[in-house]
Amino acid sequence: MTSGDCPLCALDAAEALWANDQCFVISAEIMGVGTICRVIWREHVQEMSELDAAAQGAFMSVVFGVEAVLRALARPTKMNVASLGNLVPHLHWHVIPRYRDDAYFPDAIWAPARRKALARPVEDAVLRIALEAGLRG
């Protein structure tokens, strides 16, 4: 996959919940878990170790800032943070609040579901305000 056919390159960062010059934040609903955030690097790069130390640091500081915002808003049992990209090899981090009674706990959200779970949506409007307050532009 090149940047020409990459679905993350095709996203419009201007519509993101939060953005800076290097990366942007979107939300997604995961059935049985709730609202998660994804932090997407703007440039089409495959691996974190292809970035220099300054870029790695800038990217992870946003990822962990998003983690802090989601912890404050969603009060999870545990946060999960993962960069996989097997299908879409363009750097993006999943920042996932987990709950003792979510559909997969204590397994990863990619495991088979263990139970039905309540929806736990966090509104984009709330996320926007919290990200703006919690992250440095």
Contact residues for a copy of itself, defined by CB under 8 A: 46-49, 53, 56-57, 60-61, 64-65, 67-68, 71, 77-87, 89, 98, 105-108, 110-112
Smallest gap from Cβ 16 to a copy of itself, in A, equals 20
In the bound state with a copy of itself, the residue whose beta carbon lies nearer, of 1 and 14, is: 1
- How many CB atoms are located within 10 Å of the residue 98 CB? 20
Is 82 within 8 Å of 99 (Cβ atoms)? Answer: no
Residues 6 or more apart whose Cβ sits within 8 Å of residue 77: 98, 99, 100, 105
Smallest gap from Cβ 81 to a copy of itself, in A, equals 5
Smallest gap from Cβ 15 to a copy of itself, in A, equals 26
In the bound state with a copy of itself, the residue whose beta carbon lies nearer, of 61 and 121, is: 61
In the bound state with a copy of itself, the residue whose beta carbon lies nearer, of 15 and 78, is: 78
Residues 6 or more apart whose Cβ sits within 8 Å of residue 70: 36, 37, 76, 79, 95, 97, 122
